[in-house]
Amino acid sequence: MSLSENFFAGVDVGSLAAKAVILKDGEIFATGLLKSGVNSVESGLSALNLALDAAGLKKEDLTYIVGTGYGRVSAPYANKAVTEITCHAKGANYLHPTVRTIIDMGGQDCKAIRIDENGAVVDFAMNDKCAAGTGRFLEVMAEVFKVKLEDLGAIALSATDTVPMSSTCTVFAESETISLIARGEKPENILNGIHHSIANRIAGLFSRVGITSDVFFSGGVAKNSGMKSAIEQTLKVTIVRPEIDPQLIGALGAAVLARSFAKKEGLLAA
C-alpha cells in the first residue's frame, strides 16, 4: 500500500444484516455483508473484516471508520458514530446527486427522508413502532405463503387483480391473509394487495415530510420489484434504485462521512 493512499470505512449494523463499505480515493473499493448476530460488536467487525479481506487490507490500513445503524452505540472499532438517517442521505447523494427523497425500508423500520443537493437531511419521518411496512412484515408473509422472501415481489407483479388488505398490524394481517387464502383468493392477487397496503403506509409518512424528485429506494426491501412497483403507483413517482446492493447504502454513506471527518481532522495522507 502506498503511503499516499487513504482508505475509509463505513459499518452499518442493522437488525437483520451487518454491512461494511470501504472507499479508496472516493471510490467504492470493497464491501462486506452478512446476517446480524445477537452481538452487534461482533457482527459489525465481521462485516468489516469481510470488506477488508476483499480489499486485501488490514484494519490498521484504514484512515477513519464511521459506525451507523442500531449497533453504532456499541462500535469500539469506529472513530465516530452517526445516525443511519444521515448515512443513508449521504450514501444516496454519493450515488445520485439529483436525489431529493429517500425511501429506506429495513428489517424493523421504514423511513421517509428528504435531502438537499449536498445530501444533508431536510426532514424525515419513520415508522419504528410496528413491523408493518418493513422487511420483517414481508418475512412473515413469505412464511404464510411458503415461498422465498426474494420471490414475493415477482409473484405480486404477476397478479391480475389487487385484493385489499384491511389490517395494518402484522399479527392481524397474517390472520387476514390466511382467511383470504381459505376463501380461494389467488396468492398473487393477495400479495399484490399486501404490497399496496405497505405502499399506502409509506404514503402516510410522505404526507408528513413531502416528496420531491428524484426518489431513491434503499434498504433490503428495495430488492423487491413488487414493492418498488406498488410504491411508484401509489406515490405516482419513478424510483431510482442503486447500482449496488441497496442494503449497503447506509454503510456507503458512513464511509463517505468517514472521508469527510478525516479531512476535517487533518488525517489524510499527503
Question: What are the domain boundaries of the chain?
Answer: 1-96+247-270, 98-241
Place 128 in a pLDDT band, splitting at 50, 70 and 90: low
Nearest to 190 by CA among 151, 141, 120, 255: 141
* Assigned CATH topology for domain 98-241: Nucleotidyltransferase; domain 5 (3.30.420)
According to DSSP, the β-strands at 239-240 and 215-218 are parallel
pTM of the model: 0.93
DSSP codes, the chain: --TT--EEEEEEE-SSEEEEEEEETTEEEEEEEEE--S-HHHHHHHHHHHHHHHHT--GGG-SEEEEESGGGGG-TT-SEE--HHHHHHHHHHHH-TT--EEEEE-SS-EEEEEE-TTS-EEEEEEE-S-STTSHHHHHHHHHHHT--GGGHHHHHHT-SS-------SHHHHHHHHHHHHHTT--HHHHHHHHHHHHHHHHHHHHHHH---SSEEEESGGGG-HHHHHHHHHHHT--EE--SS-GGGHHHHHHHHHHHHHHHHTT----
Angstrom distances, CA of residue 54 to CA of 25, 34, 84, 100, 248? 17, 14, 24, 32, 15
Q: Look at residue 1 and tell me whether its pLDDT is greater than 60.
A: no
Whole-number Å distance between alpha carbons of 29 and 55: 7
Q: Given this model, what pLDDT does residue 132 score?
A: 66
Q: Using one digit for the tens of pLDDT, what is the confidence trace for 183-194?
A: 999 999 999 999
130 pLDDT band, cuts 50/70/90, is low
Please report how many Cα atoms fall inside a 13 Å half-sphere around the Cα of residue 97, on the Cβ side. 2
Angle 84-95/249-264 helices, nearest 10 degrees? 90
CA 97 vs. chain centroid, Å, equals 18
pLDDT tens across 57-101, in order? 999 999 999 999 988 877 889 999 999 999 999 999 999 999 999
Domains 1-96+247-270 and 98-241 share a fold: yes
Cell 413488487 identifies what position?
A: 226
Mean pLDDT score of the chain, rounded to an integer?
A: 92
What is the gyration radius of the CA atoms in the chain, in angstroms? 19
pLDDT at 73: 76
**Domain 1-96+247-270 annotated CATH 1.10.10.60:** no
Identify the CA nearest to 185 among candidates 160, 157, 154. Answer: 160
